[in-house]
Amino acid sequence: MPVVIGLGGNRWHGRHGRPEAVLRAAAEALADAGLEAVRLSRIRTTAPLGPRQRRFANAAALGVWRGEPLALLVRLKAIERAFGRRRNRRWGPRVLDLDLLAFAEEVVRAPGLAVPHPGLSLRPFALQPLAELWPGWRHPVLNLPARALLIRLMKRRAIDPLPPGS
């Protein structure tokens, strides 16, 4: 099943260094964890959501997963912990954040998991890399391809910028 994982971080890592290098290492960790044919989007530097802090490095990884969505979520959380992720405050600084953005073109709802990611259509830092890797992916709830969602979002932001934290 094709899946898209959002990657982000804004803290240095003792072994990997800068956030951009952390994302590249995380893409390798995804492959080691069973995600096949991993492709990483271009890494972008983006403003943080929420409180003032360092800018984030964001990207997406497209790959093939042969298991269930919850099993993938467990692997993603294990990779975050292996990279030193500690869950404290919402939207706080982090070494690595991995989000399951899309699981094929399916809707998945389970405790602790909502796919497509609920904020996907409102967050350019997640939608841009997804559209770069898989422009024809169709959002199963909004019934629009990734490229159309991105165009709509960018037009909306040009007219009516979203408030911080949205």
Contact 100, 73 (CB under 8 A): yes
**Pick the catalytic residue: 24, 85, 138, 147?**
85
**Pick the catalytic residue: 97, 138, 147, 152?**
97
AA identity, residue 14? G
Q: Is 81 a catalytic residue?
A: no
Q: Is 160 a catalytic residue?
A: no
Give CA–CA dist 151/161, Å, rounded: 14
Q: Is 94 a catalytic residue?
A: yes
> What is the dihedral angle through the alpha carbons of 64, 68, 73, 79, rounded to the nearest 10 degrees?
-50
Name which of 124, 157, 158, 130 is nearest 145 in CA terms: 130
Q: Is 99 a catalytic residue?
A: yes
Classified as helix, coil or strand, 86 is coil
**Pick the catalytic residue: 11, 44, 75, 99?**
99
Residues annotated catalytic, as ranges: 85, 94, 97, 99
